[in-house]
Amino acid sequence: MYPGGSVKHIACLLLFVFAVGICGSSLADDEVTVTGAKDRFGPRRGVRGSIGIKAGVFSKGDFDAHDPYTTDIGATAQVFADFPVSSRNYLGMAFDFHNIKILRSNAVMVDISLVGKHSFPIKGNDVIIQPAAGIGIGALAQFNEFDESRYLTTKLSVEALFKYRRREMWILEVGIFRAPLGRSDAVDIVIGPMFFARVGYGYR
């Protein structure tokens, strides 16, 4: 069983952890210094958060709702905001939109997640490799014979950030998505794993 109450509890926990992280980053902001970062990503003094948008494609994947199905290739997009908790660690919120296609029908999953990231600068700060892990809650609208359903979602990915201008960047991301716990009014549902690739633009 995956009752709606559990989703609310998870949502409250995610918001609490996010709020604690943001408060911590604000208190630590004056102590964080990035030497040699001037004219690359952000100013010399202080580490800045980032915002951005990404879009791309999902691979085929499993959709187990009592009977097994296979999803078709679909579109995926994300809007995100990251906040520094130290010089190389970030905590952020991501809003994902996934087009789930099954049996020639499709619906959009809305996925809100808490995401942690760690930065590995290359060539100064002109290129940054950034592994990311996220956990969140998702909702999939009714489509075909499937009722509206809710999910616990997980994501693992690696981002490559390429300096474009002083505080602008192009983003390339590859990763894997899975919803290990899900429930409609009638059945338990598991989605994934699905691989995805996205490109985007960010500002830091």
For CA atoms 155, 156, 161, 166, the dihedral sign is positive
Which tens digit of pLDDT belongs to each residue from 35-56?
344 444 444 445 678 999 999 9
pLDDT over 90 (residue 19): no
Separation of alpha carbons 84 and 155, rounded Å: 20
Alpha-carbon dihedral angle through residues 52, 105, 195, 121, given to the nearest 10 degrees? 0
Enter the pTM of the model. Answer: 0.77
CA separation, residue 112 to residues 30, 34, 36, 69 (Å): 30, 30, 35, 24
Structure tokens that stand for 82 in this block: 């990251």
Give the total number of structural domains in the chain: 1
Mean per-residue pLDDT for 156-161? 97
| Domain coverage including residue 171 | 4-203
- CATH (domain of 14): 2.40.160.20
